[in-house]
Amino acid sequence: MAHQHQIQEQSQAFKIGVLLNSVFIAVEAGYGFASGSLALVADAGHNLSDVLGLLISWLALWLGQKSANDKYTYGYKSSSILAALFNAVFLLVAVGAISVEAIQRLGHPGPVAEWDVIIVAAIGIVINGFTAFLFVKGQKHDLNIKGAFLHMAADTGVSVGVVIAGFIILKTGWFWLDPVISLIIALIILIGTWGLLREAMNYSLEAVPRNVNCQAIQAYLKAQPTVNQVHDLHIWGMSTTETAMTVHLCRSTLADNNAFLEKLNKDLSTQFPLTHITIQIELGKVDFETTDDSI
């Protein structure tokens, strides 16, 4: 019930974020065309990519709630992993675009329509900052939500840098400052995005999620009465919020097997962030010389 309430809150956050940013894009593009400001038109195009990123994360959130079927027996839960990976790549592309444009302007600095840029960037701080705030809570536990958060937080940082640069340029006439600040912001975004990309890649390769201690789980299983061997232990992220585990346990006896399994499932799901647990019980020991997986 609590999980469903969290999903509804996140869906509402996406709805508000997409709506606010869509309105901002329309206003910014309209003002840019009316005033002949290519910079504002270009920034509107960049903000359009942000909305696309939000829509992809929102779609993944929706797909994750769809029921499993004969073809997708786990449902579409892993779509959140694809969304996180997409947003990480999207952010890296944005860093590249910002850097290329900044380097070009650094070589040929020119006049900037300071007040137009400052006003629009200030509005961007409010809208992007508020949108990022909507995802602050969810991004701590969901990589997909973290991707959306970083996207909007990065844009907020860009807007802050633009406002600061605009005021300094107004006072000093240092037009070269605009591309320099853009490069600094691009570096900050790159540092934040690298962690997101690394985690998304790990999820894509079905690595053990960062918040799961595989060794602690293995030690717990080996410490259980009548268990004399643990093998074929596999842990992977089904989605950015759900973790699955499968394991084979060799017992010295099959007495009270149902009660034994019931206790293990309860303890594992309580002590560790595991949501889908499958345990196979075997009698005796396995000869690993005839098996491939012996983890």
**Per-residue pLDDT of the chain in tens (295 residues, 90 and over written 9):** 556 667 888 889 889 999 998 988 888 777 767 755 555 666 676 677 778 888 888 888 888 888 888 888 888 888 989 988 988 888 888 788 878 877 887 777 666 666 777 888 788 889 989 999 989 888 878 888 888 888 888 878 877 877 887 788 788 877 777 778 778 877 877 887 888 889 899 999 999 998 899 999 999 999 998 999 999 999 999 988 899 999 999 999 888 899 999 999 999 999 999 999 999 999 877 765 544 454 5
- Across the chain, where does the E strand assignment appear? 227-237, 243-251, 276-283
Q: CA neighbours within 13 Å on the CB side: how many for 105?
A: 20
Sheet containing strand 227-237, strands side by side: 227-237, 243-251, 276-283
Chain length of the chain: 295
End-to-end alpha carbon distance in the chain: 35
Query: Which phi-psi region, left, alpha or beta, contains residue 226 (left: φ > 0; alpha: ψ -120 to 50)?
Result: left
- Torsional class of 173: left (φ above 0), alpha (ψ -120 to 50), beta (otherwise): left
Any idea what DSSP says for residue 231? E
Domains of the chain by start residue, with CATH: 2-204 (1.20.1510.10), 214-290 (3.30.70.1350)
d(CA 185, CA 120): 18
Tell me how far apart the alpha carbons of residues 280 and 291 are, in angstroms, rounded to a whole number. 16
Question: Cα(120)–Cα(152) distance, rounded to whole angstroms?
Answer: 16
Task: Say whether 285 sits in a helix, a strand or coil.
Answer: coil
- 3-state SS of the chain: helix, strand, coil percent to 5? 65, 10, 25
Residue 117, C-beta contacts closer than 8 angstroms, at least 6 positions apart: 39, 40, 162, 166
Strands of 73-191 (E only): list them. none
